[in-house]
Structure 1
Amino acid sequence: MRDEFDSLVPGRPLERPFSRRDFIATSAGAGFALATQPIMAQTAIHTEPAGLQAGRLRLPSALGEVEAYQARPEGAGAVLPVVLVVSEIFGVHEYIADICRRLARQGYLAIAPEIFARQGDPRQLDSVPEILERITARTPDAQVLSDLDACLDWAVQHGGDPTRLGITGFCYGGRITWLYAAHRSDLKAAVAWYGRLEGAVTPNTPRHPLDVVEALQAPVLGLYGGVDTGIPVESVDRMEAALGSAQALAAKASRIVMYDQAPHAFHADYRPSYRKEEAEDGWRRMLEWFRQHGL
């Protein structure tokens, strides 16, 4: 078992590995704790790294180095399907790292970049509004897409199968998942968990998912909550209608699943919003979606 990513592949590792203890220490007293309390220990999921090669690394990109967390089955000899994991506004904390490990247990090379690192560390801020104002609003979509490209390219160079590329993302990352499905022509499938579909146009966010329906190059499975106070059902309905009337084949092949009684972040098992039944069903659907589309 390895959880440091020291000599697995070329790439400069961090001075020390990321761990669950690091996550707790970083969260205590910081803005991230505000969004996660009370943590429901009885539903929190932790995937042990035994049998996996997992940990943090730095890799090159067009905009400078990208820090990321990756996980894959230990000792895998064949090339592996690759899944990008795009975080919420809180960055790559333990929940996102665990998502990577869960995917690794399913046979994937999963990699999650720290997409906000150039703007700052969300975990050091005191409130969600502060994170939105000081970090996410200042993070250009173009920067995020470029860093995701760098992660996929790195993965392909280090054991990933270039013909089997996918992406999934949560909240902020769900929105990015839709955009990335319109950005990367070799992507096979995408799964967006409660990603915002429309919003204000700014220099950093020039387009939203509803704007790129005809540009989709990979089919997207969208998983949404019917009582999500941040994403109105009417917005999801508009996306579903746009997909249904689109000419693009990937848009026509896309699908929306609505969980009528689920709130926002229903998959986030570290938060009170977690809904076990809907989260497990969504995870099953995600894996089926990837396999259906060749991942």
Structure 2
Amino acid sequence: MCYDDNARPPVPDGADGQAQGEDLVLTAADGNRFAAYFARPAAPTGAQVIIYPDVRGLHQFYKELALRFADIGIAAIALDYFGRTAGLTARDDSFEFWPHVQQLKLENFFLDVRAALDYLRSHASAEGATFPVGFCMGGSLTILSGSDRSFGFAGLIAFYAGLSRPIAGNGTALEHADQLVYPLLGLFGGADQGIPVSQVHELEEKLRQRGLEHQIHIYEGAPHSFFDRRYSEYAEACADAWQRVRDFIAAHSHSR
């Protein structure tokens, strides 16, 4: 599990605190109803993100993360993975996520992504640069969805993406890395026991061979899930991660 119920995303510099958020129930093309959360900025920049959570799906950390993005002018929608198997039930610490993770299929996830993107593009910006932002399993899914040109992403942002575990019945993130068609920003903890630095370097090499624009940064001494404002010892890494995300979004929004 990436984040427990007490985890909270760091607050980015300059956040205005004026964003408004709302819980949603969206419907995918196959009829699946799933939970999502939309955060609308008071002063939109035109850029927007779709947030892929960790293995627990849409819980409070990601709703607050959507608000933090919106506080800096970036519209955000976060989606849940488990509408087909767990319905619209809560995703707090009591949620037994693993049986639902095992049933997750990439083609179904992509249907949900398209429904969330449709909502985002009709309620924020139809033409705005759009970036998936994924954490842990969501980081892996960011890489897996990065080979589909039809999503029209401007770039991919992955925090501590699991690289070697098969995801959604469709291989590993490392196996898909040489199929990416969008620039990638990857952020990793150097002390992450589940993602060896050697695997991160392997990811970099695959992207280099692919000729794909990428930025990979490893925070020395930082563990998995370091992006959490409870941990003052990682405050500098969190601030740097926010700045890298903002710079990446700005650079790839302006180039469109």
TM interval, shorter chain, is: 0.7 to 0.9
Q: Quick one: which of 215, 226, 237 aligns to 1:266?
A: 226
Q: Deviations over 1:166-194 (max 9, x none)?
A: 11011111111111221244110111000
Determine helix, strand or coil for the equivalent of 1:119: helix
Structure 1 window deviating more from structure 2 (151-160 vs 252-261): it is 151-160
Determine helix, strand or coil for the equivalent of 2:91: helix
2:165 is the alignment partner of 1:199 = yes
2:247 is the alignment partner of 1:288 = yes
2:154 is the alignment partner of 1:188 = yes
Q: Could you tell me how far 1:212 is from its partner in structure 2?
A: 2.1
CA distance change for structure 1 residues 44 and 242 in 2, over 3 Å: closer, same or farther?
closer
Which residue number corresponds to residue 85 of structure 2? Answer: 119
Determine helix, strand or coil for the equivalent of 2:47: strand
Determine helix, strand or coil for the equivalent of 1:83: strand
Which residue number corresponds to residue 106 of structure 2? Answer: 141
Q: Could you tell me how far 1:118 is from its partner in structure 2?
A: 2.1
Coordinate RMSD, CA, aligned: 2.9
- The answer to whether the 8 A contact 1:264-1:273 is kept is no
Between Structure 1 and Structure 2, whose CA radius of gyration is higher?
Answer: 1
Determine helix, strand or coil for the equivalent of 1:287: helix
Query: Identity over aligned residues, as a percent?
Result: 28
Which residue number corresponds to residue 62 of structure 1? Answer: 29
Determine helix, strand or coil for the equivalent of 2:84: coil
CA distance in 1, matches of 2:173, 2:77: 22
Determine helix, strand or coil for the equivalent of 1:269: coil
Q: Deviations over 1:38-92 (max 9, x none)?
A: x48xx87579996323111122211322321010124x6x783221011111222
Residues paired across the two proteins, number:
248
Q: Which runs of 5+ in 2 are unaligned?
A: none
1:1-295 matches, cutoff 5 A: 36=4, 39=6, 51-64=18-31, 65-74=33-42, 80-120=46-86, 121=89, 123=91, 126=94, 130-132=96-98, 134-185=99-150, 186-200=152-166, 204-247=168-211, 252-269=212-229, 275-294=234-253
CA distance change for structure 1 residues 173 and 122 in 2, over 3 Å: closer, same or farther?
farther
Q: TM-score, normalised by structure 2?
A: 0.85
CA distance change for structure 1 residues 163 and 215 in 2, over 3 Å: closer, same or farther?
farther
Structure 1 window deviating more from structure 2 (54-63 vs 78-87): it is 78-87
CA distance in 1, matches of 2:80, 2:166: 24
Determine helix, strand or coil for the equivalent of 1:135: helix
Which residue number corresponds to residue 15 of structure 1? Answer: none
- The answer to whether the 8 A contact 2:134-2:141 is kept is yes
1:244 maps to a residue whose letter is R
- The answer to whether the 8 A contact 1:265-1:273 is kept is no
Q: Could you tell me how far 1:122 is from its partner in structure 2?
A: 7.1
- The answer to whether the 8 A contact 2:146-2:180 is kept is yes
- The answer to whether the 8 A contact 2:36-2:78 is kept is yes
